[in-house]
Amino acid sequence: MATLETFPSSAAAYFAGVKSALTSVYVIVLMGTYIGLGALTHDAGLSPFWLTTSTVLVWAAPAQLLMISAIGTGGTMVEVALGVTLSAMRLFPMVVALLPVLRGPATRLRDLLLPTHFTAISMWVESLRLLPLVAREHRVAFCNGLSSGYMGTAAVFGFVGYYLAAGLPPLLASVLLFLTPMSFFLSTIKGARLAVDKIALVLGLVLGPLLAYWQVQLDLMWTGVIGGTIAYAFYRIRAVAS
């Protein structure tokens, strides 16, 4: 059994989290993503300070992309708020999976508010990988440090992308924005160790493009419902048979 890493104080755990963020592969992904997002913000006629504020308050590149696109096309505030809210709902299962890893006997509800807000793809994947190796009493501080490192990187490179926008080709900006979903996809492949996980992954790769090609409404939702149900049925049948 691996020895849990302890720290002399919560501050030490926090800065260890920041260090882990700045030395992970996801910091490179965030650099590229937010350079692209900064360029998009420039083209939409919004200020770099607006992008930084939205990074801190909204914190998730897909939600920010929806918000910038909606504002840039003249969407109303109600439409923008609805789009961001629906995008944020995808993070709810991540929060549910993460909180039991963070919570300890002495953890207070208010201690979990920041990690809940910080939850995004990069932070979630790295937290589930690193937190089991950290002593439970220091996990919240470590997680907040990890998240601050990612958010700080995003804020800085959003500015970089904004001021590079004049010379950044639109195709390159689009490619940079694609880094986040690709990194999540590769992390999912790496984490699919059980047969049921691999089946769900393959079904998603097959069903998603098919339903999109057939122009089925809510194709992403139906991909998850159908693929997840089939994978779970396989798991139950296999469990009964064994």
Q: What is the pLDDT of residues 26-40, one digit of tens each?
A: 898 898 889 888 888
**Spatial CA neighbour of 123 closest among 18, 31, 203:** 18
Q: What is the pLDDT of residues 46-60, one digit of tens each?
A: 999 999 999 999 888
Q: Output the pTM of the full model.
A: 0.77
**Spatial CA neighbour of 49 closest among 152, 159, 154:** 159
Please report where in the chains the tokens 């937190």 appear, as a residue: 131
Task: Judge whether 36 and 161 are in contact, CB under 8 Å.
Answer: yes
Task: Judge whether 209 and 224 are in contact, CB under 8 Å.
Answer: no
Average pLDDT, the chain: 86
Pick 242 or 56 by higher pLDDT: 56
**Number of neighbours of residue 28 by Cβ within 10 angstroms:** 12
- Please give the Cα distance from 102 to 90 (Å, whole number): 20
Residue 180 has pLDDT above 80, yes or no: no
Task: Judge whether 216 and 222 are in contact, CB under 8 Å.
Answer: yes
